[in-house]
Amino acid sequence: MFKIKFLPYNIEVEALPGETIIEIAMRHGIHINASCGGAGVCNKCKIIIEKGKVKGEVLEDNFYKACTTIPYSDIVVRIPVESDIDRRAILQKTKKRASFLSKKIDKLPESPFQKSYFILPSPTIEENFADWIRIKKSLEQKGILNSEINLNILKKLPYVLREKNFEITLNLYYDPRKDRYYLVDIESGNTTFSNLGVAIDLGTTTLQVELIDMNTGKTLAFTSDYNPQISYGEDVISRIEFAKRKEGLKILAQKVREKLVFMIEELIKIAKRDLNEINLISVAGNTVMSHLFLEFEPKYLREYPYTPVTTEFPLLFARDLGLPFKESTLIQLAPCKASYIGGDIVSGVVASFMAEEEPLTLFIDLGTNGEIVLGNKDFLICASCSAGPAFEGGGIKHGVRATSGAIEAVNIDPVNFEPMILTINKKPPIGICGSGIISILANLFKVGLIDKAGKFRKDIKHPRIREGEDGWEYVIVWKENSGTGKDIVFTEADIENIIRAKGAMFAGCQILLESIGLTFEDIERIYLAGTFGNYIDLEEAITIGLLPDLPRERFFFLGNTSLEGAKLALLYKDILLKMEKVVNMMTNIELSVYPKYMEYYVGSLFLPHTNENLFPSVRT
């Protein structure tokens, strides 16, 4: 077997016969930007072979494609900055998270997982009834009726009861759907102080995890990192395709579970607590991510008529998934509505409280699936707009994720057309992330360098506007100023991708409104959810026609509502019931079969729109 050394990590591993560089990296947990999951079509898995013999496809400037390159000797591989995945930036980019708990919840936690301390009367010859009956009677005195116990706890019951002379702590889980408590563990003595929970946003791109004291509701620690499944596909479709490979589904499930365990262990160290104190894990993710986490077959989510295995997930023991927590640690997942309206959206709607309030609200999650929900306490209608990965840098020539050196904001001088840029962490620019993509497009349009169709004005002569190898483009950063040593450009093809993505979102909103006979003017509030939504400039998003041109005071940036909903489900026993209610209230519209969707979509493929009356503040 050949030895493969990866730089700049200085990690040396062994390759199996016939393995490509991307397969070797995946197997050893070394991240290379592989948007297409190794299918060979995204051209983003660039590597440099510094030493040794290989056979593979060569890109420009002597870069090789990791997904098609096979070593034929011991080699040294360098992963360039644009192919690397930087974790540090995503940790810093999540500091502005909104907290609904502080705004909306004013009562102490009443978690579905409760620890109750009892000093039971010792048995006597007069009262020698069964140990379990003794416990049930004590629970009934606290108003807990119809409690249930499992075989494993019954087996250890007599020993634990007598270890500290019938002084015990009962670990109880309340199922609101059955209005019943389940005894999931019994501990000797008073352990009520030890009651931790974990809230997880199981995102396609990002995992966010919060460690919570379920007695007080206090956040003890928070962390965020990329979903390691990125190495097997940037979006849910490519991951569904990867899952079709031999052991593919098992690999995807294993990778995300391992990463979550690692992140939780990090939080435990930060909080100086013990892993055995974790009693409940609350997970919110889209339907595909939930399926992959549980190792459910996902392929029918993509095939007509788009059928999930389930949208309601059973309560699990963490050990059922092979997770190294104590035997009684439970996992609950937020329910989903449909194949592409998942638990993250249901969780977000509950966290935003829009389904409990009167104002007509439009909830928008600006991500790959582009989910939207319209409604209030009386009704909810929803749709997935399939915006694609453009808002996260996918399908953009120099698009990158929100990492150090990513261009996040641009301002172009209207006179000399020179750009001023802002990068994450003020590092040398390596590419353009989602907020920067919206910013550059809005600026090109505002200063007149592109027309309403997104085409460059050929009559304007400027060194930054040129015809490149992929068509006309604007040079944002010259190579001598970039972190990659190459020009960073924004092309007409990039513009087309963004216009299609924003057009899908806007047309989806139009369809939801039309389906109930309303217009944009009827919307009282617009909630922008997701971490990405926190970083876009509202005026720029309206300028390109991504968001409706409404009074700005109607817009609210909510941050990661999926994580907030998962956290609420840890702390309040009625939240899962509210999630189920939201699912039942929702009417899902499949936009692809809706008669007018294509008409509205085509109308949205201009800047900001073919109907200028929809965007009075953007008229040029």
Per-residue H/E/C for 358-425 = CCCEEEEECCCCCEEEEECCCCEEEEECCCCHHHHCCCCCCECCCCCCEEEEEEECCCCCCEEEEEHH
**Helix/strand/coil for 357:** coil
pLDDT of residue 93: 41
Q: Which CATH architecture has domain 196-333?
A: 2-Layer Sandwich (3.30)
Q: Which CATH architecture has domain 343-389+498-618?
A: 2-Layer Sandwich (3.30)
Map out the domains of the chain as residue ranges: 3-84, 113-188, 196-333, 343-389+498-618, 394-491
Over residues 281-327, the pLDDT tens digits come to 999 999 999 999 999 999 999 998 899 999 999 999 999 999 999 99
Over residues 583-598, the pLDDT tens digits come to 999 999 999 888 899 9
**Helix/strand/coil for 6:** strand
pLDDT of residue 82: 64
Over residues 538-575, the pLDDT tens digits come to 999 999 999 999 999 999 999 899 999 999 999 999 99
pTM assigned to the model: 0.86
Q: Which CATH architecture has domain 3-84?
A: Roll (3.10)
- Which of 273, 280, 177 lies closest to 568 in space, CA to CA? 280
Within this chain, domains 3-84 and 343-389+498-618 share the same CATH topology: no
pLDDT above 80 (res 449): yes
Pick the CATH number of 113-188 from 3.10.20.880, 3.40.50.620, 3.40.50.1820, 3.10.180.10: 3.10.20.880
* Cα 510 to Cα 602: distance, rounded to the nearest angstrom: 12
For residue 30, what pLDDT band results from cuts at 50, 70 and 90?
Answer: confident
Pair 433, 89: CB distance under 8 Å: no
What is the average pLDDT value for the chain, to the nearest integer? Answer: 91
* Residue count (the chain): 620
